[in-house]
Chains A and B, each alone.
Chain A
Amino acid sequence: MPPRTLFEKVWDAHVVTAPKGQSALLYIDLHLVHEVTSPQAFDGLRAAGRAVRQPLRTVATVDHNIPTTPRGLPITDPIAAKQIEALQKNCREFGVPLFDMDSAEQGIVHIIGPELGITLPGMTIVCGDSHTSTHGAFGSLAFGIGTSEVEHVLATQCLPQTKPKTMQIHVSGKLAAGVTAKDLALGIIGRIGTDGATGHVIEYAGDAVRGLSMEGRMTLCNMSIEAGARAGMIAPDDTTFVYSRGRRFAPKGKDWEDAVAYWCTLASDPGAKFDRVIEIDAASLAPFVTWGTNPGMVVAVTARVPELKSFALDADRRAAEQALAYMGLNPGTPVEEIAVDRVFIGSCTNSRIEDLRAAARVAKGQHVNPKVRAMVVPGSQAIKRAAEEEGLHRIFLDAGFEWRESGCSMCLGMNPDFLQPGERCASTSNRNFEGRQGRGGRTHLVSPMMAAAAAIAGHFTDIRNWRFN
């Protein structure tokens, strides 16, 4: 057999059949479900008289539209409440396990999968959410799907798929202090653009990637979709196994040993060919801040908002002009002079324990600028408990941050957490699209440390110069 990439090995292991003249039929090991993109899919099953084929391979939670106020309070938005009730009813009717609002395991779907040991290496994982790419950090092929495909997987546990192309992003060297996985992700998207990896599965490789924790790898793979990629993957290694070992639903004993032996065979073979290869030197990266209305519109914190004449293509120049008008920014403004009104630390990109520790380290003994409202939203109930055991919540509360319940929250503002028109937010989330965090809201994507520093300083500031207490 010719040398194969990580992606090709996982793909090949899941092809059920590849009928001539049709797409390959791919078996799906794990289907994650949430309240927003599933109700129409369950309705489709009901209408066709179909069952959920593999309830054991289907796991649901509520995350997108739930409030982050204390859990005992009622949901004030009747339409959101109806959507949550629909998921509860569908899970009961079709026998799908649900980590509900009041569950000790509830959290953002892409956080709880890895945390519970449900997400493991070498799997195929789908969810009706584009940030499913997060799970690729384990060396799984994980991608977002639409509601029709959700219904397809519920009914058949399979998806017909056209084989994507492959791209390796090789990051050599070591990330400097203050430069995080989030900055690596933003740096990559800034370089290749928001459609730079369309039609491709990215494999991240190189010393800088190997050096990332699982939390960092999840952040990096999470943002793959923002470069247009179908998925992002990282070969499993000891870092992966140490993270997953002993987690609640991970295999145990001999099953675990056998699984690790298999997972060790998944790394791309020497000489395996990628359709595209991109080389990045970690030393060229800095803490990044987005200035526009997509994640590719990004510069180093030490830079200035770009001049329009710096865009070679007419369409890009007009897009930049529209973005700056929306963002209320002038070309040439130093990024460090941009003041913020709100700070959001959370989302499936950056709400894991390591993210909260990094932000707390910045916040310790400091105080949020009086002009800023800052909130910390842990990704799951388990993260919230862990952070409270470490006393991180005390650091945040003492510094004037809000400490809230878990959910997607202000990443997409479907729940009551959203920006008012014109408000400017330093956010650890993944999308700075117009209106993403609330109509007229202005989002700047940054790392958790950079967000915490902006909350305290009242404007963006280079974390590399921060005086930690």
Chain B
Amino acid sequence: MQPFRKHTGVVVPLDKVNVDTDQIIPKQFLKRIERTGFGEFLFYDWRFSGDGKKIADFVLHAPRYAKASILVAGKNFGCGSSREHAVWALADYGFRVVIASSFADIFSNNSLKNGFLTVRLSDDEVREITRCAKEINNYELTVDLEALRVDDGRGFAAPFEMDEFSRHCLLNGLDDIGLTLQHDASIAAYEAKHPVHAEMTGILTR
């Protein structure tokens, strides 16, 4: 997994609450069997009309946000479907960080597995970043996972929290399957004590 330490980038404001994963990546694009290539379908129904034409006034199409790599949105970002394709689409499009006042649990977990950062700030802080991103051209933030802090270098800064283990994995880009397999003996011991019951074994020979 790609490590995440510190990232500086342009912020684009998606001034909406409860952005669900059906909006982030609509279902018609979930039939692909690869992990790559989802970026072009990010927020598809908001970016393109039914006949495939660009919806010019959608915020991601504004030239000033063309290079944005940090998305700021309202509460409960990533709610709904568990589709990890939502994170793949955001990352493939070029985002490294989403800032919001809250995130849905599964979306946060999926982000962690992809070296993609979800930063939770207060409603007031999100409002301030949104305002700056709307008013200031090329408004940039630095998101520092080592220092657990976002800073715009022009007076706004805010600390954020993340559990220590997740932070450790992100900072070092650790393969967490590898970490779990370090406990193979404990897993095997657990399995020896909790065998599959007899009837279930029939599922392989039905």
Contact = CB atoms under 8 A, between A and B. Distances in A.
Interface stretch (B53-61, B80-88, B134-142, B151-159): B80-88
A73 interface: no
A271 to B, nearest CB: 28
A82 B33 contact: yes
A66 B107 CA distance: 26
B92 interface: no
Interface in A425-452: 431, 433-436, 439-440
B40 interface: no
Contacts of A433: 20, 22-23, 80
A146 B31 CA distance: 15
Contacts, number: 202
A152 B106 contact: no
Contact of B106 (A144, A294, A431): A144
B105 A25 contact: no
Contacts of B204: 55-56, 95, 97
Contact of A412 (B27, B113, B186): B27
Contacts of B31: 36, 65, 77, 79-80, 82-83, 414
A269 interface: no
A273 interface: no
A52 B187 CA distance: 14
Contact of B105 (A17, A80, A198): A198
A439 B50 contact: yes
A434 B45 contact: yes
A143 B105 CA distance: 10
Given A22-B165, A97-B203, A195-B102, A251 B74 contact: no
Nearest to A132: B82
B163 A431 contact: no
A434 B45 CA distance: 9
A149 B76 CA distance: 21
B76 A194 contact: yes
Interface string B31-65: 11111000000000100001000000000000000
B114 interface: yes
A400 interface: no
B165 A23 contact: yes
A130 B75 CA distance: 19
B79 interface: yes
* Interface residue SS majority, chain A: loop
A117 B199 contact: yes
Given A39-B33, A146-B84, A198-B105, A16 B199 contact: no
A162 interface: yes
A344 to B, nearest CB: 15
Contact of A40 (B33, B80, B201): B33
Contacts of A251: 197-199
A61 to B, nearest CB: 12
A56 B200 contact: yes
Interface in A190-248: 194-195, 198-199, 225, 228, 230, 248
Interface string A59-103: 100001100000000000101101100100000000101000000
Given A27-B194, A56-B200, A86-B33, A319 B17 contact: yes
A146 B87 contact: yes
Contact of B104 (A29, A148, A152, A198): A198
Given A27-B187, A434-B23, A83 B33 contact: yes
B18 A319 contact: yes
Given A228-B104, A421-B50, A156 B27 contact: no
B200 A118 contact: yes
Interface string B177-206: 101110100110011001011111111101
A156 B18 contact: no
Given A146-B113, A228-B79, A40 B191 contact: no
B8 interface: no
A260 interface: no
B146 interface: no
B124 interface: no
Contact of A25 (B81, B180, B191, B200): B180
Given A43-B34, A433-B23, 17 more contacts: A23-B163, A25-B186, A40-B34, A54-B191, A65-B31, A130-B106, A144-B82, A147-B35, A157-B191, A160-B176, A251-B197, A259-B197, A315-B74, A412-B22, A412-B81, A414-B28, A433-B22
22 contacts: A16-B190, A21-B165, A23-B166, A25-B187, A37-B83, A40-B33, A54-B191, A65-B31, A79-B32, A145-B109, A146-B106, A152-B176, A152-B177, A157-B191, A195-B79, A195-B102, A198-B105, A228-B104, A249-B199, A252-B198, A414-B30, A434-B23
